[in-house]
Amino acid sequence: MSNKRRFFGTDGIRGKVGEEPITPETVLKLGWAAGCILGKGTTEHAKILVGKDTRISGYLLESLLEAGLSAAGVDIRLLGPMPTPAIAYLTRTARARAGIVISASHNPYEDNGIKFFSSEGTKLPDDVELAIEDMMQQPLTTAGPAALGKAKRYDDAGGRYIEFCKSTFPHRLSLEGLKIVVDSANGAAYHIAPLVFSELGAEVIAVANEPDGFNINRECGATYPIFLKKTVLAHKADLGIALDGDGDRVIMVDHRGEIVDGDHLLYIIAMDRKKDGRLQGGIVGTLMSNFGLEQVCAVQKIPFVRAAVGDRYVLAQLVEKGWDLGGETSGHIICLDRCTTGDGIIAALQVLAAMRGSGKTLADLMSGLEIYPQVMVNVRTSRRFDIKTSNPVQSAVQNVERELAGLGRVVLRASGTEPVIRVMVEGRDALQVERLSRDLADIVKRAADGAA
């Protein structure tokens, strides 16, 4: 089996629709190859769930995957628009062989992607993804007429997931008396999220919940929290909740219009769990988690470690350490005691439980975390440039770290999707951080140009 990936990235397969690998030919072959690999070892037809977000291209990709899976002799259960974490949950509870998500998450509608969940509701192991890629190199053969897979709709998938989400909120608590703005990003949770919070008693103002195939993530959702901020203030709401296009990411806004990002959310959930002894281990953040979160964890004696950027790596660290709580600044929050993957609705419910259990506002709960100023500069390079072997860059990093004197961080990271070096500096002094980040970015640019 080859160890070289052609299609799968850190979060499935993604790209612009109509360009490789998101083309009709490749997606059809992917469905067939996935059916061949994932359907092995069954005496009867394997069952695979297929869900999607609200992009116009979802219709095309859904039909292609359905055809490929059927040709491989696999039965298909079509979920329609459904949040990514819902597909993980339903795959596990329906005892399906796997789940397939058609989504490009927070990207614009022109993009789309395909990712897989195992029968346990977790990401596929690397060796299974590689086996699917190897199978895609084989000629597509069709199962005999009697062995072809059948497709049908999964009845009440949305209702089942809504009940599951509600079950993660303490039965003794209620959201009655809270006015909440819920921004579904015109995405997969548009018909799910508002109902979850309203059925728990909240007065819900639902926005960005009218998808048309093109407006997913457009000036709304977790990647554009300014819309949520304006709406919360306009309605004098107690708080706002914004998901991204596939519902696995959440950003919140308090009653003052202050944005509550993933670092704040992790802090609030961890402190609530620590208070009554429910915190299992510590927190897994990423290289981009704010230094302030690391500092407050040290003060609170909460273990804190950093994983590489990406929820896949956060999850791997959680499993390795036997911890439950981790996530990213962008709002991917994983509560492993509640679900197997990042889930924006469930993360928001854990924060709301902390509010209702303590009688405090969202603003009160986040006040104990000091967020350090952080500046990131993207440096475009003409080709792949190895920052680790560049003496001028490494020397400059050491100089910046000396000036920060232990009260900040420097992170240099090559983008996995484009020829860009991300230069990030954070510390207590905003002006100092701005100056150091720009100076360091200039040095990286000169070194990269010199190596071109």
Asked if residue 72 is part of any domain, the answer here is: yes
- Residue 398 belongs to a domain with what CATH number? 3.30.310.50
Is the same domain home to 209 and 342?
A: yes
What pLDDT is recorded for position 440? Answer: 97
Model confidence at 266: pLDDT above 70: yes
Q: What is the pLDDT of residues 23-62, one digit of tens each?
A: 999 999 999 999 999 998 776 789 999 999 999 999 999 9
- Residue 352 belongs to a domain with what CATH number? 3.40.120.10
Is the same domain home to 177 and 202?
A: yes
What residues contact residue 276 under an 8 Å CB cut-off, 6+ apart? none
Is the same domain home to 133 and 174?
A: no
Model confidence at 308: pLDDT above 60: yes
Active site residues: 105
Q: What residues make up the domain containing 198? A: 167-366
Model confidence at 305: pLDDT above 90: yes
Is the same domain home to 389 and 424?
A: yes
Distance (Å, rounded) from C-alpha 52 to C-alpha 62?
8
Is the same domain home to 175 and 300?
A: yes
Q: What is the pLDDT of residues 310-364, one digit of tens each?
A: 888 999 999 999 999 999 999 999 999 999 999 999 999 999 999 999 999 999 9
- Cβ atoms 102, 52 nearer than 8 A: yes
Predicted confidence band of residue 417 (pLDDT cuts 50, 70, 90):
low
**Unique residue bearing structure tokens 């397969």:** 13
Q: What is the pLDDT of residues 205-261, one digit of tens each?
A: 999 999 999 999 999 999 999 999 999 999 999 999 999 999 999 999 999 999 999
What pLDDT is recorded for position 131? Answer: 96
What pLDDT is recorded for position 41? Answer: 72
Percent of the chain residues topping a pLDDT of 90: 89
What pLDDT is recorded for position 414? Answer: 85
Asked if residue 104 is part of any domain, the answer here is: yes
Write down which residue in 157, 185, 201 finishes a domain.
157
Asked if residue 284 is part of any domain, the answer here is: yes
Q: What is the pLDDT of residues 159-193, one digit of tens each?
A: 999 999 999 999 999 999 999 999 999 999 999 99
Percent of the chain residues topping a pLDDT of 70: 98
Distance (Å, rounded) from C-alpha 358 to C-alpha 258?
20
Burial of 365-402, coded b for 16+ CB within 10 Å and e otherwise, reads bbeebebbbbbebebebeeebebeebeebeebbeebee
Asked if residue 6 is part of any domain, the answer here is: no
Distance (Å, rounded) from C-alpha 342 to C-alpha 116?
14
Model confidence at 1: pLDDT above 70: no
Is the same domain home to 192 and 337?
A: yes
Is the same domain home to 214 and 357?
A: yes
Does the predicted TM-score (pTM) go above 0.75?
A: yes
- Number of independent structural domains in the chain: 3
Write down which residue in 157, 183, 210 finishes a domain.
157
Asked if residue 7 is part of any domain, the answer here is: no
Average pLDDT over residues 271-284: 97
Is the same domain home to 139 and 183?
A: no
Is the same domain home to 120 and 53?
A: yes
Mean pLDDT rounded to a whole number for the chain: 95
What pLDDT is recorded for position 136? Answer: 97
Is the same domain home to 260 and 397?
A: no
Is the same domain home to 275 and 191?
A: yes
Asked if residue 153 is part of any domain, the answer here is: yes
Q: Nearest 5°: phi and psi at 116?
A: -125, 150
Model confidence at 2: pLDDT above 60: no
Q: Hey, what are 92's tokens?
A: 């596990």
Q: Hey, what are 397's tokens?
A: 């990093």
